[in-house]
Amino acid sequence: MLDVLAVTVPVFLIIAAGYVAVWHKLFSQAQVDGLMMFTQRFAIPCLLFLAMARLDLAQGFDLRLLTAYYSGSVVCFAAGIVGTLLWLRRGAEDAVAVGFAGMFANTVLLGLPIAERAYGVESLAPNYAIIALHAAFCYFTGITAMEVVRAGGTGLIGGLTTVARKMATNSLMIGVALGLALNLSGLSLPAPVEEAVALIARAALPAALFGLGGILVQYRPEGDARGIALCCGIALILHPAWTYGMGRLLGLGDGPFRAAVLTAAMAPGVNSYLFAAMHGRAVRISASSVLIGTGLSVLTVSGWLLLL
């Protein structure tokens, strides 16, 4: 158990440091916004660019790996919708927002540093394969469902156009796409350029974890307690449990299996709140689930690491 805590606790201590720094006004919210802009628009895209450029595509994009993880995403999305409709007794649009929160795991800011500490940087190829599709898959599913439920406004075609526009302008997706393009081309970057990109990439995860803590100060634990419990239960228990079962059923190798289950065990990501705010539905539930889920994941992720 101590070995597991040695993996997870440092990650959450960095998050806690960011939270305390902003809470006690040692670091302003504007400074946090600037830090997160640097990590999300520059440092993390550089990290993903290098990962995709160096990825063994035949090994990384294992259909069994993607099936195990993303079938769990679909199940979690459906569970959030059904739970909201039948247990929370809220409308269909709220149900889609809650389903999105249950489905959208924090694959980058939490998933990568914990997996790296647990299994080493050389183990991360399956994580990057999941991340390459994650935002596009979740936003496509969530926005499409929301537009179908609304059956008006921009309509389904407009919703799909929104997905395409968001993905085309998303810096993380641009980093992934450019890295894949370089990989497929067989070319390589000049050594000084690659080293410069690598220097920026090395700053990504520590800075992003600190910034995540600062952002979480904004997400007060308020709203429907049952809704928060539903989101956190789906994200922290149902998703990794489903992925665990599917991974065993499909015969995933040890490395991809651990990557899929551990990534599925992450708390709801900040995009859960952004999706809810974009549509004006279940905003307090989504925001509180990001904060509380991140705190609870200290224990739940440690438990999944013990099991793995």
Residue 147: give its domain's CATH number. Answer: 1.20.1530.20
Asked whether residue 162 carries a pLDDT value surpassing 80, the answer given is no
- Answer whether residue 149 is part of any domain: yes
Q: Which residue has the tokens 């910034």?
A: 211
Average pLDDT over residues 185-196: 89
Distance of CA 158 to the CA centre of its chain: 25
Angle between helices 2-23 and 112-119 (to 10 degrees): 150
- Answer whether residue 252 is part of any domain: yes
Q: Residue 153 — left, alpha, or beta (φ > 0 → left; ψ -120 to 50 → alpha)?
A: left
Q: What sign does the dihedral 115-51-170-40 (CA atoms) show?
A: positive
What is the number of domains present in the chain?
1
Residue span of the structural domain in which 36 resides: 2-300
DSSP 266: S
Average pLDDT over residues 154-172: 66
Rounded to two decimals, what is the model's pTM?
0.85
- Answer whether residue 165 is part of any domain: yes
Contact 267, 88 (CB under 8 A): no
- Answer whether residue 259 is part of any domain: yes
Asked whether residue 104 carries a pLDDT value surpassing 70, the answer given is yes
Asked whether residue 278 carries a pLDDT value surpassing 90, the answer given is no
Residue 304 confidence class, pLDDT cut points 50, 70, 90: very high
Per-residue model confidence (pLDDT) at position 132: 85
% of the chain with per-residue pLDDT over 70: 92
- Answer whether residue 308 is part of any domain: no
- Answer whether residue 307 is part of any domain: no
- Answer whether residue 204 is part of any domain: yes
Q: Which residues pair with 268 in a beta bridge?
A: 105
- Answer whether residue 306 is part of any domain: no
Per-residue model confidence (pLDDT) at position 159: 59
d(CA 132, CA 142): 17
